[in-house]
Amino acid sequence: MARLYQTLPGARTTALATAVLAAALAAGVAHARPIGPFEVGGAIEVEYDAAGGAAALGDPTTPESDAANGGKYQNFERDAAIYWQAETGAHQIGGPILEKWRGLGAESGALRYPVTRVEQTPVKAGSFSHFQGGSIYWSVGTAAHQLGGVIRDKWYSLGAENSPLGFPITDEAAAKNNGRYNLFNDGAIYWSQKTGAHAVWGAIRITWESRAGANGAYGYPTGDEYDFEGGKAQDFEGGRITWQP
């Protein structure tokens, strides 16, 4: 009986130590390693290494710090940061995308936390990062701009930056009657509750905008451009615009 009594406290101590260690690992406290002036640990350390470590991000310039909704973040030398939150994990963002995101309120804004690190667009020169509430795309000629929701879905369905629209040149903005729009290199996508999201580009867009666009007699587009009598046409709330070569 005495032997049993001696075993139980040790088992309890081991269980307690295991629980404490697990909590420390989750918080990034255990196994943190010094890099330059600060330690990097936990999920942020894993993402730091996966994103290229010191060669890509540089040394940390801040300790791991608290972020909104139970998150954590750490800043690094080369205009970069890593943000972590339980729902999203840890993801690196940097450069003009980081600057834009922070300008929109960072994790406390409409985009919330990143769900990918900054990645390169596969064909045209640019980069992007996805967030819980949308995306930010950047290219040399357009700077960094936000888009999301049904406008982003429509843009993706057309080929995203490889479509005739190209990269976004504005953030998503308000339009007539609670509608929304984004402008792109070579066109626009307009959305309203009544009409859905549709792209407008080329000569038809020029004519439509010369008639005050969504604010004019034509109103919102009700469909995309289509072939018509050897040319192109597009339907709007207030009529049809046609184009002939």
21-54: pLDDT as tens digits:
333 444 444 578 999 999 999 999 999 999 999 9
In this model, does residue 4 exceed pLDDT 50? Answer: no
Per-residue confidence (pLDDT) for residue 99, from 0 to 100 = 98
Going by pLDDT thresholds of 50, 70 and 90, the confidence category of residue 59 is very high
- SS3 letters across the chain: CHHHHHHHHHHHHHHHHHHHHHHHHHHCCCCCEEECCEEECHHHHHHHHHCCHHHHHCCECCCCEECHHHCEEEEECCCEEEEEECCCEEEEEEHHHHHHHHHCCHHHCCCCCECCCCEECCCCCCEEEEECCEEEEEECCCEEEEECHHHHHHHHHHCHHHCCCCCECCCCEEEHHHEEEEEECCEEEEEECCCEEEEECHHHHHHHHHCCHHHCCCCCECCCCEEECCEEEEEECCEEEEECC
pLDDT-derived band at 66, boundaries 50, 70, 90: very high
Domain residue extents for the chain: 148-245
pTM: 0.86
Between 76 and 15, the higher pLDDT residue: 76
Backbone angles phi, psi at 119, to 5 degrees: -130, 155
Question: Residue 6: its pLDDT value, please?
Answer: 28
- Lowest-pLDDT range of 72-76, 93-97, 139-143, 203-207: 139-143
Report pLDDT digits (tens) over 152-165.
999 999 999 999 99
Across the range 173-199, mean pLDDT stands at 98
Q: Which of 122, 159, 151 is nearest to 139 (CA)?
A: 122
Stretch 188-207: mean pLDDT, rounded? 98
Distance CA 26, CA 70 (A): 12
Q: Are 110 and 133 in contact (CB under 8 A)?
A: yes
Least confident of 13-27, 44-58, 129-143, 217-231: 13-27
Q: Average per-residue pLDDT in the chain?
A: 90
The predicted pLDDT at position 32 comes to: 85
* C-beta of residue 44 within 8 angstroms of C-beta of residue 75: no
